[in-house]
């Protein structure tokens, strides 16, 4: 990493652990092959969400943020393409990395969503976008910051930690939809079912599945 890149972009964002492939001549591969931690990916998305500003500093020129995240050509995998950003017709844009590395920026809802994955082939390429479209964006009722709620934050942290340790098993709902189920501690009767379905195929069936479950 050159001193110029560190000083102009990565250092102001507090990004230290980064790798970036180069050509035999030592030129960085501008189109990709950069390795970042998820938290640092989110910083990059946050920088763009805030029009290139980080704190009180303009790190990336506002004009470049606006032109680079604008539709320039039509595309296939995603609706449009800007300058290194894919642009969705719904009004958000994303950085797309190999095998499912994603930075989604949704200005209307003040959202930056980051995924790291090991997806394979075009058949799985839209999983993360569908999770954003059908779950994350609809769940954001307002772009404003929620008021502090320490009690609920503790409960959420406990639930996330429990889910991270859960072991799943797979079954078929209605003999057609493959479901992976995780039993973790939650709010109702100390039980909660977390479902993972092929959401890019069956997103319309998730709600009927949840409603059909009976807690025991």
3-139 has CATH 3.40.50.720 classification: no
Per residue in 103-142, pLDDT tens? 999 999 999 999 988 887 776 778 888 889 988 898 887 7
> 148 exposed, middle or buried (CB, 10 Å; 0-12, 13-18, 19+)?
exposed
Break the chain into its structural domains and give their ranges: 3-139, 150-212
pLDDT of residue 190: 46
Whole-angstrom distance, CA of residue 68 vs CA of residue 52: 11
pLDDT of residue 183: 47
pLDDT at 31 over 50: yes
String of b and e for 118-130 (b: at least 16 CB within 10 Å)? ebeeeeebbbbbe
167-192 pLDDT, tens digit each = 665 666 666 666 665 544 444 444 55
Strand partners, 173: 177
pTM: 0.70
194's CB contacts (< 8 A; 6+ apart) are 163, 166, 181, 182, 183, 184
């Amino acid at each position: 990493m050159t001193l110029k890149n560190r000083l102009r972009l990565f250092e102001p964002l507090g990004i230290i652990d980064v790798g970036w492939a180069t050509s035999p001549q030592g030129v960085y591969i501008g189109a990709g092959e950069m390795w970042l931690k998820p938290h640092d990916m989110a910083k990059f998305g946050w920088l763009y969400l805030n029009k290139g500003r980080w704190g009180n500093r303009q790190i990336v020129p506002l004009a470049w943020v606006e032109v680079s995240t604008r539709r320039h050509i039509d595309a296939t995998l995603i609706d449009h393409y800007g300058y290194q950003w894919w642009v969705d017709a719904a009004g958000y844009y994303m950085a797309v990395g190999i095998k499912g590395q994603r930075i989604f920026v949704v200005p209307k809802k003040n959202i930056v969503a980051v995924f790291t994955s090991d997806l394979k082939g075009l058949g799985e390429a839209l999983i993360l976008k569908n999770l954003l479209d059908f779950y994350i964006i609809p769940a954001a009722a307002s772009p404003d910051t929620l008021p502090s709620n320490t009690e609920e934050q503790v409960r959420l942290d406990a639930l996330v930690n429990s889910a991270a340790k859960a072991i799943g098993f797979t079954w078929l709902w209605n003999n057609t939809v493959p479901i992976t189920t995780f039993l973790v501690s939650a709010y109702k009767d100390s039980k909660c079912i977390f479902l993972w379905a092929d959401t890019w195929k069956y997103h319309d069936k998730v709600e009927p599945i949840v409603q059909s479950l009976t807690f025991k």
